[in-house]
Amino acid sequence: MRDGSDSPSSGGFQAVLVISFGGPQGLADIRPFLENVIRGRRLPPQRVEEVARHYELFNGVSPITEITRRQAEGVRARLQARGIGLPTYVGMRHWHPFLADTLRAMSQAGVRRAIGFIAAAHHCYSSCGQYKENVAEAKRTLRERGLPDVEIAYVESWYDHPGFIGTLARHAEAALLALDASIRDRARMVFTAHSIPRSMADCCRYERQLGETARLVTRALDRRDYALVYQSRSGRPEDPWLEPDVCEYLRAERARGLEAVVLAPIGFICEHIEVLYDLDVRAAEVCRELRLPMARAQTPNDDPLFIETMADLVRDTYERYRRFPPLPIVLGQSIISR
């Protein structure tokens, strides 16, 4: 590990931080994890218990942690092969390894500047802004403990990156091929993403970026029949959220003659309990009830093409700051880099 004395022309980066949501790793973790997720929000206890039961169906183990670790290791190896020797760290918002613990480990290891990769392709407060706030809070904890700060430079938007689109298209095509050949050509691509409050969606690029991702994947597949729907709605029933819900959509479209469907979760880059429950349990049950043939595309996970995409984005950030070091902003007596 370097000691932070890198020249400004190199960008001075000493690590990569992959930032993700986190998930429980056993039955005993479920309720403490959910307490972290809902902290500061008013949800009825019965709703919390309902979600807890979803996790119990999978023995309380979310695959997101292990997949994120594999993604981080894949990025490290590919950067190393390109002559960029940066260790990778994983920090989670809601479960171990917590962001505050990871930032502390980075600081104690001598990391002073790192490239941040937020595990969400589409921008809204919940998917990106809140993650950055959590990083800022973890950095404040460092200062309170008298530890050196770790500056984070984030990768730029990648919802339309060819590698991301190519990965989604490849997984959607694999799901399409899983359908019986007699109905394959009549199947509709139904892309899913996490619903968010309408008030939040009206103030960000989330819907537009999801729509562009869906359009690009459909074009890569040379298909025309597709839809964008939402899953994992939470919050108060009276508050408007992005619609249609995936299950409501399937019921309505089956009644209009929909013959087969491929569910492709383009709003997620890792398998986790929300994807597994909402699509593989809830939506699959609806399709069985409706006798609607269904196949489900996998999320990007650690597909080699997606790992290459992640490494490309990190490398681009590394090169950008090497060519154009961030300018300091003077606030009072302190100097802060963008």
The range of the structural domain enclosing residue 88 comes to 8-23+62-156+304-337
Helices 162-178 & 206-220, crossing angle to 10 degrees? Answer: 60
3-state DSSP of 67-116: HHHHHHHHHHHHHHHCCCCCCEEEEECCCCCEHHHHHHHHHHCCCCEEEE
34, part of any domain = no
37, part of any domain = no
User: How large is the C-alpha radius of gyration of the chain?
Assistant: 21
- Same domain as 152, residue 97: yes
pLDDT score at 329: 41
Q: How many structural domains is the chain composed of?
A: 2
Q: Tens-digit pLDDT profile for the chain (338 aa)?
A: 333 334 333 458 999 999 999 999 999 999 999 999 988 777 778 888 999 999 999 999 999 999 999 999 999 999 999 999 999 999 999 999 999 999 999 999 999 999 999 999 999 999 899 999 999 999 999 999 999 999 999 999 999 999 999 999 999 999 999 999 999 999 999 999 999 999 999 999 999 999 999 999 999 999 999 999 999 988 777 889 999 999 999 999 999 999 999 999 999 999 999 999 999 999 999 999 999 999 999 999 999 999 999 999 999 999 998 876 665 544 333 333 33
pLDDT score at 41: 76
- Same domain as 248, residue 134: no
Residues 236 and 255: their CA atoms lie apart, in Å, by 29
Residue 302: phi and psi, rounded to 5, are -110, 35
- Same domain as 149, residue 19: yes
- Same domain as 248, residue 181: yes
205, part of any domain = yes
2, part of any domain = no
Both tokens of 35, joined, read 């307490």
pLDDT score at 39: 85
Q: Closest Cα to residue 273, out of 114, 56, 93, 83?
A: 56
